[in-house]
Amino acid sequence: MKLSRLFIYDDYKGTKDYLNTQKKYEIARTVLYFAISLTLFAAGWIATGKRENLLTIVAVLGCLPACKSAVDMIMFLRYKGCTLENASQIEVHTVGLQCGYDFVFTSYDKTYPIAHIAVKGNTICGFSQEKSFDEQAFYKHIDTILKKDNYKETTIKIFTDLNKYLNRLEQLKVLDTDETNTAGIIKTLKSVSL
């Protein structure tokens, strides 16, 4: 198993504290990549006594993945995951529901951080800790993505009030609906989030 598969994306995405764990991973990876390039450069300089050598070229090329990793790190550092207090309250109300934590959806115009999402059938509800969350813009963005994956007629509601969200989770548990699309919608949401 590759080291990167231990931490990244599909397997771990959507779990509680995902963003905080991913931040640590991205910082460590970025530091390691730059350290490798710096070490190669120093080794070449020490071995030949001048900067113009083959290891300098390898070190410069090594900066490409290091810079990409730095961009990923900066993206993760910008966002906060679901707080522990909110997560503990939400967890009580999600028994029997398929859910995910710490989603960050991006579009060309905006970024939509969502602390928690629950899906049942074609019904998606979520909780954002940002009071200024633009629900209409998010609905248009995510509805377009879901339609491309053939999930039509979805209902999406994002709450910024935790108590209203907890009430909606209880309603969602007793909702009588066909749940064949639930796993697929969750997979799509994970694939398009940070």
Per-residue pLDDT tens over the stretch 128-183: 998 888 889 999 999 899 988 888 888 899 999 999 999 999 989 888 787 788 88
Is the pLDDT reported for residue 4 higher than 70?
no
Strand partners, 118: 99, 125
* 160 secondary structure, DSSP code: S
- For the chain, the residue count is 194
Portion of the chain with pLDDT greater than 90, in percent: 44
pTM, entire model: 0.79
Q: What is the pLDDT of residue 178?
A: 78
Nearest alpha-carbon partner for 74 in 114, 115, 113, 23 = 23
Q: What is the pLDDT of residue 24?
A: 93
Distance between CA atoms of residues 158 and 168, nearest Å: 10
Q: How many helices (H) and strands (E) does the chain have?
A: 7, 4
Question: What residue ranges in 36-154 does DSSP mark as E strands?
Answer: 98-106, 111-120, 123-127
Q: What is the mean pLDDT of residues 30-34?
A: 96
Is the pLDDT reported for residue 11 higher than 90?
no
Structural contact between residues 67 and 59, judged by C-beta atoms closer than 8 angstroms: no
